[in-house]
Structure 1
Amino acid sequence: MYRSHTCGDLRASHIDSEVVLSGWVHKVRDKGFVVWIDLRDRYGVTQLVFDEERTSKKLLEKARTLGRETVIKASGKVIERASKNPNLPTGEIELLVTGLEVLNESILPPFTIEDDTDGGEDIRMKYRYLDIRRNPVKNNLIFRHQVTMEVRKYLSGQGFIEVETPYLIKSTPEGARDFVVPSRMNEGQFYALPQSPQTFKQLLMVGGMDKYFQIVKCFRDEDLRADRQPEFTQIDCEMAFVEQEDVLNAFEGLTKHLLKEIKGVAVEDFPRMTYDEVMRRFGNDKPDIRFGMEFGELNEVAQHKDFNVFNSAELVVGIAVPGAASYTRKEIDTLVDWVKRPQIGAKGMVYMKCNEDGTYKSSVDKFYNQEDFANWAKATGAKTGDLILVLSGKTNETRSQLSALRMEMAERLGLRKADEFAPLWVVDFPLLELDEETGHYHAMHHPFTSPKPGQLELLDTDPSAVRANAYDLVLNGNEIGGGSIRIHDKETQAIMFKHLGFSPEEAKAQFGFLMDAFQYGAPPHGGIAFGLDRLVAILGGQETIRDFIAFPKNNSGRDVMIDAPAPIDKEQLEELHLKLDL
């Protein structure tokens, strides 16, 4: 028997019990006449004790030779700890060791296995299996498991059935690049790894499985960042015989359940805003509504005042930063430099202070009077002591720039609190987006999203005005889920493909199987997919998904631990009918 208890089990009630523990040597403290060893496993830490009076000399010497991370088995009697540790669940006891077996020795780890480690990110990624032994990573993985189990429990209780869909599928245009897999048995042909199970879950609705879900791996060959990986996990869901309201209510329920069960937080209010509204008020379609600083459009009160920068702009817009009128000129200059960075792209920034004495002070004083500035304050909702920051330029670019500045100011002011949760539904997205480079429209969500009722005819006359029967769930400034009511008849789907630039032949080749299925009584249906990695990270008080994935890729899409991707040998290439000119 390797263990009768884990290293987190033992308490004062176990005193005088004979037990067996196994785990990793966490620390060794040798005082000459006594040796203490902290033994660690997934469940906790138990102190082992060896001393000259009660331990054989041979056993004491053996304990002194143990290095960190050596795997051992220790047997003995649980005794009361002389110097108790109130910060440790096992801190009232220790194990007086009578038997010790080395199960596997360890070489010196490349970084210390401690909560506050000395290992940088690159080295910890390379030795991820060691990093998982640290409490922060281990606890994140346990937390992810808890969230996943609650998802399964809730959806199963609501009548959803988990169904697995294929990983080797056909390449389809869904917005990102596919990962492709060559077929050995079908020369010159390729599978693709799914970007989502979209068409399969729709086919399940045709098959009568009216409530489906799947916790599923998806793959997108795109550039990476902190909240994006080439392989990621979705909570994928679909329902038949539903309208938008049914889907929103169902998954508000899931979100409330997770917040209550995982975080102990009761959230009742799920406000809804249209896409046009959130863009106007916050400058992006996934706003963080835990704090204010809503946009105030200033065109009417800031243009035609001899300040050509504003007069030539499509949009002049500002935010009121609470309590920041005390910022020095040097602090404001750092903000100007911040918005001028290439990542933001603004050409400059205007500011206005709302002074405590009721006056206003601005970087453009010579162009405006106090009455003008009072109108700025009114438009932005600024109060005494606030600082108004103003950007101008093309509408979409300026909104994006000010949105980034709003989030930066919230971070600096500590307004984005990890223990506060503010969900938001964003609805009525545009159905199509115009690619300004090509002049062609593409689907803002995907080609299977239905237009809002009564708007199908607008596709021929005013495509940009058509709104989608689509919705995103935003939590704390992050999109955690998105979905739509789907097209469920062949004729409408054919019209959609036509407006996306597919010829009838191309549509048939790519999606003929789905359009054929629609002819056999496809029910009205819709669904949603949550990004599990991002959802877990936000519930865990973070926004970097990598910390909640067991074996993540780096920012170049590489697994530095196993050194992948990697070349394959010539024989494999030949079997796959591939030839590389290197």
Structure 2
Amino acid sequence: MTTPNIYRSRILNEISESDVGKTIRVAGWVENIRDHGGVSFIDLRDMYGVLQVVLRDTSLLDGITKENCISIEGVIDHRDEETYNPKIPTGTIELEAHSIDMLGKVYHQLPFEIMTSKEIREDVRLKYRYLDLRNQKVKDNIIFRSQVISFLRQKMTEMGFLEIQTPILCASSPEGARDYIVPSRKFKGRFYALPQAPQQYKQLLMVSGFDKYFQIAPCFRDEDARADRSPGEFYQLDFEMSFATQEEVFRVGEEVLTATFEKFAPEGASVTAAPYPVISYKDAMLQFGSDKPDLRNPLRIMDVTEFFQRCTFKPFLKRTVRAIRVHADMSKGFHEKLLKFATSIGMGGLGYLEVMEDNSYKGPIDKFIPDDMKQEFAELTGLEVGDTIFFIADKEERANLFAGQLRNELGERLDLIEKNAFRFCFVNDFPMYEYNKDEKKMDFTHNPFSMPQGGLEALNTMNPEDILAYQYDIVCNGVELSSGAVRNHDLDIMVKAFEIAGYSEEDLKTKFGALYNAFQFGAPPHAGMAPGIDRMIMLLRNEDNIREVIAFPMNGNAQDLMCGAPGIVTETQLREAHIKVRD
């Protein structure tokens, strides 16, 4: 015979009108107390719901305050009809309390009201995160997160992927972000690192003969926080496939992300159907001014550099010139406000033209376009009556950046952004290398373990800055959700690729010894990617800050205000790890 639970016989969402007349025991937290003169009420909350409790014997309230954890025994009864609460499932019933047991007292004044915790300062919320999580909206994000992760696991398993956990303590890698390092007690002066990603391990699993691997992988990077990046740690859906091409990885990414967003997106949301648009890095920078294009914004950037080299406007000569055409009603003073924004981001000015009813142009740039070139310009840019076209001129990199920011600003100010939509695309064909002016050497631009397009021949014969890699990102609504690549599995190509970036073969043996050795024993072609789970959930919940979807996040300064990390350790701990702290 099962021993009955001494704290509760029901959770609150299991109680209904069919229980009227029954004696039950419930447990939870006191959300609210109301005194109606001789009769008092408690709103009792557990993880699953809220129930009104009526106390006709008001002495039962002695010592009870908000957020006490209590257990109540009583009889379920109908509420008076005029007091029904349609906002909660138990809104037509109440529990008449016969006895109350105190389970957990509140010893201090609450630092904030639970119901309105999302409205207070973040540092206070994070210090008392265990109270903040009692807020139903905050709790719902964490429950939602659990449901999404459970679905991802189920989906990947159904698609034939095997879940394998890779090590947390690993070797430090010289590539990527800054490592978190962990001192070794047994090996003086040596250190582990927490994995920035399971990169080498998942590639080694492919060499080991596993065909399709995945895991919900914790990743650790000592980098600064942003609204869409949690400092310290994050989780990603990491997967890798043997004998796979870039396009086959795309199909897997599309299937799992489309299924997840269609299942968990808000009601009525539109989700990009597979196949997703594929945009090269070069085209993304040109058309969107960013390698993270937000396709909800219909505006596109045009290259009008060559045209303006044939005009007489000196600020555009010998500059990269980008243009954005807009067809929208603009309020009085719109151009001045947009100019103010342009100068705030570092632009020297903002040229524009308006197309009038007679197809003539109005604006400061008009007089610098020769009359016999105006028809050519209209055809080049697709100008029509009622259009306004804005111009950005600078060095290419800055012109792209400014044009992208202006495109986003125009989309927001003119309310052009598609509502309740999740627009996915792939961005691919990233450059393999970029020149580091400070160190006067070539650096990898993305993942150093990627396969260069053209293989060994490209590495031997092409200018490194012209070599593209089989690298790709998935972007949703302007947020990078995933990066991935076809991996380099050929030892000769690996040696040459790293040589261009300044690594000798001896460096490879020392710093990437496992891959260097494994690739000598029949490595298969393999590819994969890793969508970020925190960002995925942030988008689905329409949260502006990623910390809202993490149970116990650090603050923006990488501090755990609740537990006091990073903290001071004892001299004994330092000695055991062979560490001396410098002043």
Scaled by the length of structure 1, the TM-score of the pair is: 0.93
Return 154-163 or 110-119, whichever deviates more: 110-119
When residues 274 and 188 of structure 1 are mapped into structure 2, their CA distance, relative to the original with a 3 A threshold, is same
Q: Does 1:296 align with 2:302?
A: yes
Deviation at 1:497, TM superposition (A): 1.4
| Corresponding residue number in structure 2 for 1:391 | 392
One-letter code aligned to 1:280 = L
Q: Does 1:32 align with 2:37?
A: yes
Instruction: Please give the alpha-carbon distance, in whole angstroms, between the structure 2 residues aligned to 1:116 and 1:223.
Output: 25
| Corresponding residue number in structure 1 for 2:236 | 234
When residues 120 and 266 of structure 1 are mapped into structure 2, their CA distance, relative to the original with a 3 A threshold, is closer
| Corresponding residue number in structure 2 for 1:151 | 152
| Corresponding residue number in structure 1 for 2:425 | 424
| Corresponding residue number in structure 1 for 2:536 | 535
Q: Does 1:71 align with 2:75?
A: no
Q: Does 1:99 align with 2:99?
A: yes
Instruction: Please give the alpha-carbon distance, in whole angstroms, between the structure 2 residues aligned to 1:464 and 1:448.
Output: 17
When residues 202 and 115 of structure 1 are mapped into structure 2, their CA distance, relative to the original with a 3 A threshold, is same
Instruction: Please give the alpha-carbon distance, in whole angstroms, between the structure 2 residues aligned to 1:557 and 1:237.
Output: 28
One-letter code aligned to 1:234 = Q
Scaled by the length of structure 2, the TM-score of the pair is: 0.92
Aligned partners of 1:296 and 1:379 also within 8 Å? no
Describe the superposition over 1:233-287 as per-residue Cα deviations: whole angstroms up to 9, x where unpaired: 1111111111111111112111121122222756424111111111111111110
Equivalences for residues 372-451 of structure 1 within 5 A: 379-381=380-382, 383-417=384-418, 419-451=420-452
One-letter code aligned to 1:443 = F
What SS is found at the alignment partner of 2:156?
helix
Instruction: Please give the alpha-carbon distance, in whole angstroms, between the structure 1 residues aligned to 2:378 and 2:31.
Output: 59
Equivalences for residues 474-553 of structure 1 within 5 A: 474-553=475-554
What SS is found at the alignment partner of 1:76?
strand
| Corresponding residue number in structure 2 for 1:250 | 252
When residues 389 and 455 of structure 1 are mapped into structure 2, their CA distance, relative to the original with a 3 A threshold, is farther
When residues 62 and 352 of structure 1 are mapped into structure 2, their CA distance, relative to the original with a 3 A threshold, is farther
Equivalences for residues 67-146 of structure 1 within 5 A: 67-82=65-80, 83-106=83-106, 107-115=108-116, 117-146=118-147
| Corresponding residue number in structure 1 for 2:342 | 339
Describe the superposition over 1:36-60 as per-residue Cα deviations: whole angstroms up to 9, x where unpaired: 1111122121111123xxxx3xxx1
When residues 414 and 45 of structure 1 are mapped into structure 2, their CA distance, relative to the original with a 3 A threshold, is farther
Task: Please point out which of 4, 7, 12 is paired with 1:2.
Answer: 7
Aligned partners of 1:534 and 1:543 also within 8 Å? no
When residues 375 and 513 of structure 1 are mapped into structure 2, their CA distance, relative to the original with a 3 A threshold, is same
One-letter code aligned to 2:24 = V
Deviation at 1:17, TM superposition (A): 2.3
Describe the superposition over 1:543-578 as per-residue Cα deviations: whole angstroms up to 9, x where unpaired: 421111111111211112222112222222222111
Aligned partners of 2:436 and 2:442 also within 8 Å? yes
| Corresponding residue number in structure 1 for 2:466 | 465
| Corresponding residue number in structure 1 for 2:331 | 327
Deviation at 1:317, TM superposition (A): 1.0
Instruction: Please give the alpha-carbon distance, in whole angstroms, between the structure 1 residues aligned to 2:562 and 2:396.
Output: 45
What SS is found at the alignment partner of 2:512?
helix
| Corresponding residue number in structure 2 for 1:310 | 316
When residues 500 and 25 of structure 1 are mapped into structure 2, their CA distance, relative to the original with a 3 A threshold, is same
Gaps of 5+ in 1: none
Instruction: Please give the alpha-carbon distance, in whole angstroms, between the structure 2 residues aligned to 1:278 and 1:115.
Output: 42
When residues 14 and 302 of structure 1 are mapped into structure 2, their CA distance, relative to the original with a 3 A threshold, is farther
Instruction: Please give the alpha-carbon distance, in whole angstroms, between the structure 2 residues aligned to 1:133 and 1:381.
Output: 55
One-letter code aligned to 2:300 = E
Instruction: Please give the alpha-carbon distance, in whole angstroms, between the structure 1 residues aligned to 2:580 and 2:248.
Output: 52
Equivalences for residues 275-290 of structure 1 within 5 A: 275-290=281-296
Instruction: Please give the alpha-carbon distance, in whole angstroms, between the structure 1 residues aligned to 2:36 and 2:375.
Output: 72
When residues 310 and 94 of structure 1 are mapped into structure 2, their CA distance, relative to the original with a 3 A threshold, is same
Instruction: Please give the alpha-carbon distance, in whole angstroms, between the structure 2 residues aligned to 1:361 and 1:64.
Output: 77
Instruction: Please give the alpha-carbon distance, in whole angstroms, between the structure 2 residues aligned to 1:560 and 1:378.
Output: 59
Describe the superposition over 1:282-309 as per-residue Cα deviations: whole angstroms up to 9, x where unpaired: 1111101112110022224444443221
Instruction: Please give the alpha-carbon distance, in whole angstroms, between the structure 2 residues aligned to 1:356 and 1:93.
Output: 67
When residues 398 and 440 of structure 1 are mapped into structure 2, their CA distance, relative to the original with a 3 A threshold, is same
Describe the superposition over 1:328-383 as per-residue Cα deviations: whole angstroms up to 9, x where unpaired: 23x43332222323xx3222212333456755432445534788677666545455
Instruction: Please give the alpha-carbon distance, in whole angstroms, between the structure 1 residues aligned to 2:8 and 2:139.
Output: 21
Return 415-424 or 172-181, whichever deviates more: 415-424
Return 188-197 or 356-365, whichever deviates more: 356-365
Return 540-549 or 398-407, whichever deviates more: 540-549
Instruction: Please give the alpha-carbon distance, in whole angstroms, between the structure 1 residues aligned to 2:393 and 2:117.
Output: 44
One-letter code aligned to 1:71 = C
| Corresponding residue number in structure 2 for 1:196 | 197
Deviation at 1:405, TM superposition (A): 2.0
Deviation at 1:64, TM superposition (A): 6.1
Instruction: Please give the alpha-carbon distance, in whole angstroms, between the structure 1 residues aligned to 2:379 and 2:110.
Output: 60
Gaps of 5+ in 2: 1-5
When residues 456 and 96 of structure 1 are mapped into structure 2, their CA distance, relative to the original with a 3 A threshold, is farther
Instruction: Please give the alpha-carbon distance, in whole angstroms, between the structure 2 residues aligned to 1:65 and 1:364.
Output: 76
Aligned partners of 1:115 and 1:135 also within 8 Å? no
Return 441-450 or 112-121, whichever deviates more: 112-121
Aligned partners of 2:217 and 2:238 also within 8 Å? yes
What SS is found at the alignment partner of 2:323?
strand
Q: Does 1:350 align with 2:348?
A: no
What SS is found at the alignment partner of 1:488?
coil
What SS is found at the alignment partner of 1:457?
helix
When residues 110 and 377 of structure 1 are mapped into structure 2, their CA distance, relative to the original with a 3 A threshold, is farther
Aligned partners of 2:117 and 2:125 also within 8 Å? no
What SS is found at the alignment partner of 1:318?
strand
Task: Please point out which of 11, 19, 24 is paired with 1:14.
Answer: 19
Describe the superposition over 1:74-113 as per-residue Cα deviations: whole angstroms up to 9, x where unpaired: 1211111111111222211111111211211213211111
Return 483-492 or 535-544, whichever deviates more: 535-544
What SS is found at the alignment partner of 2:539?
helix
